[in-house]
Structure 1
Amino acid sequence: MTCPAQIVVPKPLLAEILQHLPDADAAHLSWLTCDFDLHPHRDHYGYVDDIGATEQALWIVWTDETDEADEADEAEGTEDTPSSPPRVSVERICPSKSPSSEDACWLPLRHGTPHSWTRYE
C-alpha cells in the first residue's frame, strides 16, 4: 500500500522547478503524493522528473506536520515542533532490478521502503 501523504506544491517552489525543467507540466506538478509505500518516517518524496541520463531524479521532499509523538504532545498541551518547508532535492535513483529484470526501482537510492517494482510483480 502506498503512502497517502499529499502536498500542494507552493508556487515559489513550483517556479524554481520550472526554471530547471521549462518543458514540465506545471498543472501536473502543483499537487503531488508521496511515492513511497507506507513508511514510519515523516519525510515524504514526490517524484518530479528524471534528470537526463544521469541516473538521478528531481524530487520534492516534505515533512509531515504531525506524527504520533506530535499528537501526544498536543494532547498534553506541549509545544509542537514546526516541520521543515518543502524543498527540491536531486537524488540518485535506486539501481535495484526486479527478479525477472523486467522492472526497475525508480525510488531514491536510500528509500528504506520496498522497491517500487514490488508493486508490479
Structure 2
Amino acid sequence: MECSEVVSLPKEERLKALSYPDVETGEIPEYLTCELDPHPYGEHVAQLLYMEKPNGSVLWLAWGGGIGMELRCLPVCERASPTEENSCWLPVRHRGGHSWEHYE
C-alpha cells in the first residue's frame, strides 16, 4: 500500500524539472502521488525523471513536512528483494518499506 497524498505540479516546476541538467526527456504528469508507504507526517516524494548523470539517479519532487516543493536529484535505493528478482526504486534512505514489497 502506498501513501495517498497527491499534489498538483505547477507548470513552472514542471518546466524547471525538464530543464534540469542531465535529465532524460519524458512526460511529467500534472498530478503526482507519493510513492512511499502511508505516513501521517513528514515529506512526500514522487519520481519525476531519470538522470543521465550521476548513474542510477532520479529527479524526485519532495513536498510537505514544512518544505513546500523541492526538486532533488537522488540515487535509488536498489535494495534487492528476497527473491532477487526486483530491486527498490525509491530514493536512497527512504522511509517505510521497499517498492518491491508492494509487488512480491
- After TM superposition, give the deviation of residue 55 of structure 1 in Å: 1.3
Q: Deviations over 1:77-120 (max 9, x none)?
A: xxxxxx33211101111020001111110001111210000111
Unaligned runs of 5+ in 1: 65-82
With over 3 angstroms needed to count, the CA separation of the structure-2 counterparts of 1:12 and 1:35, relative to structure 1, is: same
Which one-letter code corresponds to 2:50 in the other structure? D
Within 2, Cα distance between the matches of 1:111 and 1:25? 24
Identity %: 30
Look up the match of 2:60: 59
Structure 1-normalised TM-score? 0.75
Q: Which amino acid aligns with 1:43?
A: E
Gaps of at least 5 residues in structure 2 are none
- Based on CA coordinates, which of the two structures has the bigger radius of gyration? 1
CA RMSD, Structure 1 to Structure 2 (Å): 1.7
Separation in 2, partners of 1:7, 1:13: 12
Equivalent in 102, 107, 113 of residue 85 of structure 2? 102
Q: How many residues align?
A: 101
Tell me, yes or no, if structure 1 residue 114 matches structure 2 residue 94: no
When you count helix as a share of all residues, which structure comes out higher? Answer: 1
Query: Displacement of 1:22 after TM fit?
Result: 6.9
The whole-number CA distance in structure 2 between the counterparts of 1:118 and 1:32 is 21
Tell me the alpha carbon deviations over residues 39-95 of structure 1, each in whole angstroms, 9 at most, x when there is no partner.
24320001112213611111000005xxxxxxxxxxxxxxxxxx3321110111102
Structure 1 Cα separation of the partners of residues 6 and 95 of structure 2: 19
Deviating runs (4+, > 4 A) in structure 1? none
Letter in 1 for 2:27: D
Structure 2 length normalisation: TM-score?
Answer: 0.86
Alpha-carbon distance between aligned partners in 1 of 2:67 and 2:101, rounded to the nearest angstrom:
30
- Counterpart mapping for 1:1-121 below 5 A: 1-20=1-20, 21=23, 23-26=25-28, 28=29, 30-52=30-52, 54-63=55-64, 83-121=66-104
Q: Following the alignment from structure 1 to structure 2, what is the Cα–Cα distance between the partners of residues 114 and 22?
A: 27
